[in-house]
Structure 1
Amino acid sequence: MLKFKFLLWALTKLLQRAVKSNPACAKYVQGKKLVFQMQTRSGAGRHFTIAEGKVNSAAGLIKAPGFIMTFRDGPSGFAILSAKESKDAFLTALHTEDLAISGDFVEVMWFQGLTEFLQPGKT
């Protein structure tokens, strides 16, 4: 579970760095207002806020996020989020029910676009 929590914290730092160092990423988040969370079925997780061109997060869950990614448990969440082939890992996890996504799927797709800026060479 600790690795999962650390990965969620590190995701925030990676997104913050991408926004700060990549003008295309900064433009992508400009004007966006979104709160979402990633959690385990047992309720451990973190919520993320994108507002005013910045990415922030805090430990714990909130009542009404735009979407929620719920992983079966910490180890499966870590494995899915850290997989080299992330799109395949997400699709497989959805199929095997190791991952459930609820909420606004348009926002989920927007977030997937944001994570593309974490890939090497993305401008």
Structure 2
Amino acid sequence: MKFNLLLYVLSVKLKRAAKKNARFMKFIRDKKLKLGIRTADGKSGRQYTFSKGKILSGSGLPEDPDFVMVWSDADTAFKTMSSTNEEAAVAALTEKKLQVEGDLKAFMWFSRAIDIMMGKA
């Protein structure tokens, strides 16, 4: 439940940044990208679509995503994604608690977009 709420809050923050954060708006303005974030068991997840400056989001996974972030379980995902430790996601990847299926370059772009949205880049 906490993980699904976190994914929803992420969608709200992305949409807000797409309307109010000039640097983020510039970064996403020409991007077309579909991604999903879910648990390995498929019980929790959300889709995000970047389409020329707009962001759409909903439950489930998109058709033909560019990449999907697959977390081992919802608790690990929540703890890692809500952590202030910037190395937590790298550790999750290293420990195979997070796997990226699909285009790694698109995943890196999304990671950069999140950093810009959060004011870390």
Deviations, residues 86-109 of structure 1 (Å, cap 9, x unaligned)? 3x0111001111111111111111
Aligned length: 120
Please list, as runs of the form range in 1=range in 2, the aligned pairs for 1:21-100 lying within 5 A after superposition. 21-43=20-42, 44-86=44-86, 88-100=87-99
Q: Distance in 2 between matches of 1:47 and 1:84?
A: 23
Are the equivalent residues in 2 in contact too, given 1:4–1:75 (CA < 8 A)?
Answer: yes
> Letter of the aligned partner of 2:57 in structure 1?
S
Q: C-alpha separation between the residues in 1 aligned to 2:103 and 2:66? A: 6
TM-score by length of 1: 0.91
Query: What CA distance in whole angstroms lies between the structure 1 residues aligned with 2:15 and 2:31?
Result: 14
Report the Cα offset of residue 63 of structure 1.
3.8
Q: Which one-letter code corresponds to 1:69 in the other structure?
A: M
Distance 1:94 1:112 in 2: 13
Q: Which residue of 1 aligns with 2:14?
A: 15
The offset of 1:119, in angstroms, is 2.3
- Post-superposition offset of 1:121: 6.9
| Residue identity matched to 1:65 | P
What amino acid does structure 2 have at the position aligned with 1:13? Answer: V
Give the TM-score taking structure 2 as reference length: 0.92
Deviations 1:69-92 (A, max 9, x none): 000111111011111023x01110
2:101 counterpart SS class? strand
User: How far 1:23 sits from its partner (Å)?
Assistant: 1.0
Deviations 1:48-84 (A, max 9, x none): 1000311111101234200010001111110111110
- Give 5+ residue unaligned stretches, structure 2: none
What 5-or-longer segments of structure 1 have no aligned partner? none
Matched-pair identity in %: 32
- Superposed displacement of residue 120, structure 1: 4.1
- C-alpha displacement of 1:37: 0.2
Match of 1:107 in 2: 106
